[in-house]
């Protein structure tokens, strides 16, 4: 798929598209391109409307930081690890049922029960102060109870098979309440620009405080995914006797801002639903619930700000999905993948048909990233 300029008259915006952009997405991108200090925008093939800045966009600035171009789930990302065993271990219903039952105990959706929560955060998180007293209080309360919890929406635990029949784990989760609180706190201290977006000067105290808190949230999300990986690995090993190959671990963030150099110029690169894809950089691009996922290696394309898509991207809003997809549709689309059938009605907004075709997305970004491994879902665990 060749690079396109979008909108056609704006040279700041380059896109890799699997399908034409809806008008509301075009308008959002045009607004973003007119915003102060925005010098480059890369649009990924899974782009879709969400809030003031579309998900699956990459925004580069010279000095201003835009929290809305990162989103609330700061540090949201992926982790994957391989088991020393075959995917055939999940071939029978009894094994799948035992694993699902174990996951309900090991990976809470929202909070750990009081008796099982950590007494304190890991030292690297506990000893790094956040910028405001309210955030510090939340860190000691919700931060402690939510570390290692999955969350709702499109977050998931999935067991998968690669082309060789090896068993893999993939986890998608973020910074839970902490990321949202950090964004909201710093938006109150931001300056409203001419297009209505809120900016922080990266060199001013308010900007420095946001960047420090963002780094903390990314570290929190990474630590939380690690806790989920360990919890799931314990369940799978107990049920199947398949141990984990820790050397196989892959991890990436897809909601962040960081200082990068592109074409010799230092820039603040904001990614909201986009995977860093520098030359050779490992990445994870999940499909929808019930469709293939991919381990990738970046190509470092300059026009794309060395980025790629972070998944299939929504084809329907959640409201549209609930209006048009039935529980029976979800069950049919999930045929061959173990999941909790009791949740079919509540998971209709996560059905594969609510998302874009992941094959089209991967074809559209052939210039951005290489496919290292394709994985087929075997078992999916989601919170509702």
Q: What is the pLDDT of residues 105-131, one digit of tens each?
A: 999 998 887 766 666 899 999 999 999
How far apart (Å, rounded) are the C-alpha atoms in residues 375 and 239? 21
Q: Distance between CA 208 and CA 200 in Å, rounded?
A: 9
Closest alpha carbon to 69 in 351, 273, 280: 273
Q: Is residue 88 part of a domain?
A: yes
* Tens of pLDDT, residues 128-176: 999 999 999 999 999 999 999 999 999 999 999 999 999 999 999 999 9
* 362 located within any domain: yes
- Residue span of the structural domain in which 34 resides: 4-315+355-381
CB 160 within 8 A of CB 169: yes
Residue 89 pLDDT exceeds 50: yes
Residue 225 has pLDDT above 70, yes or no: yes
Q: Is the pLDDT of residue 14 over 80?
A: yes
Which helix or strand (DSSP H or E) is residue 383 part of?
Answer: none
Q: What is the mean pLDDT of residues 290-316?
A: 96
Residue 350 resides in a domain: no
Which of 44, 43, 35 shows the shortest CA–CA distance to 67? 35
- Residue 344's CB is within 10 A of a number of other CB atoms, namely 17
Does 3 score more than 60 pLDDT? no
Give the whole-angstrom CA distance, residue 31 versus residue 243.
50
Read off the pLDDT band of 383 (50, 70, 90): confident
Residue in 254, 256, 270, 310 annotated catalytic: 310
The model's confidence at residue 4, banded by pLDDT at 50, 70 and 90, is low
Residue 187 has pLDDT above 90, yes or no: yes
Q: Where are the beta strands (DSSP E) in 217-310?
A: 243-253, 255-262, 265-272, 274-276, 282-285, 293-298, 307-309
* Number of domains within the chain: 1
Is 28 part of a structural domain of the chain?
yes
Q: Domain holding 228: CATH number?
A: 3.90.1860.10
Q: Is 310 a catalytic residue?
A: yes
H or E segment and range at residue 15: strand 13-15
What is the CB-side half-sphere exposure of residue 71 using CA atoms within 13 A? Answer: 27
In a domain, 239, yes or no: yes
Q: Residue 172: its pLDDT value, please?
A: 98
160 is a domain residue: yes
Q: How far apart are CA 297 and CA 352, in angstroms?
A: 25
Task: Round the average pLDDT of the chain to a whole number and report it.
Answer: 94
Q: Write the DSSP symbol of residue 152.
A: S
Residue of higher predicted confidence among 3 and 349: 349
Task: Confirm whether 113 is domain-assigned.
Answer: yes
> Would you say residue 279 lies in a domain?
yes
């Amino acid at each position: 798929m060749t690079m396109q300029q979008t909108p056609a008259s704006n040279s700041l915006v380059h896109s890799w598209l699997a399908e034409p952009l809806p008008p509301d997405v075009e308008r959002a991108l045009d607004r973003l391109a007119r915003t102060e200090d925005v010098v480059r925008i890369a649009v990924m093939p899974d782009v879709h409307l969400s809030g003031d800045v579309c998900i699956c966009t990459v925004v580069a600035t010279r000095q201003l930081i835009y929290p809305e171009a990162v989103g609330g789930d700061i540090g949201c990302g992926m982790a994957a690890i391989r088991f020393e065993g075959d995917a055939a271990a999940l071939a029978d219903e009894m094994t799948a049922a035992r694993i699902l039952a174990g996951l309900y105990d090991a990976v809470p959706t929202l909070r750990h029960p009081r008796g099982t929560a950590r007494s304190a955060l890991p030292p690297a998180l506990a000893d790094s102060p956040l910028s405001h007293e309210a955030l510090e209080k939340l860190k000691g309360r919700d931060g402690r109870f939510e570390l290692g919890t999955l969350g709702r929406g499109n977050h998931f635990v999935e067991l998968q098979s690669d082309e060789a029949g090896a068993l893999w784990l993939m986890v998608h989760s973020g910074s839970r309440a902490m990321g949202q609180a950090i964004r909201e706190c710093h938006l109150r201290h931001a300056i409203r620009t001419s297009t209505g977006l809120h900016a922080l000067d990266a060199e001013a105290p308010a900007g420095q405080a946001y960047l420090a808190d963002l780094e903390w949230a990314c570290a929190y999300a990474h630590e939380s995914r690690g806790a989920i990986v360990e919890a799931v690995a314990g369940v799978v090993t107990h049920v199947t006797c398949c141990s984990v190959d820790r050397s196989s671990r892959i991890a990436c963030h897809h909601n962040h801002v960081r200082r990068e150099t592109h074409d010799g110029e230092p820039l603040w690169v904001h990614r909201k639903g986009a995977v860093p894809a520098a030359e050779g950089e490992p990445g994870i691009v999940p499909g929808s619930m019930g469709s293939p996922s991919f381990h990738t290696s970046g190509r470092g394309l300059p026009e794309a700000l060395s980025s790629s898509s972070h998944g299939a991207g929504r084809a329907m809003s959640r409201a549209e999905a609930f209006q048009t997809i039935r529980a029976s549709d979800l069950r049919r689309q999930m045929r061959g993948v173990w999941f909790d059938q009791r949740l079919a009605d509540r998971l209709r907004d996560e059905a594969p048909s609510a998302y874009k075709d992941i094959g089209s997305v991967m074809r559209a970004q052939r210039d951005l990233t290489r496919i290292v491994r394709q994985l087929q879902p075997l078992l999916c665990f989601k919170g509702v």
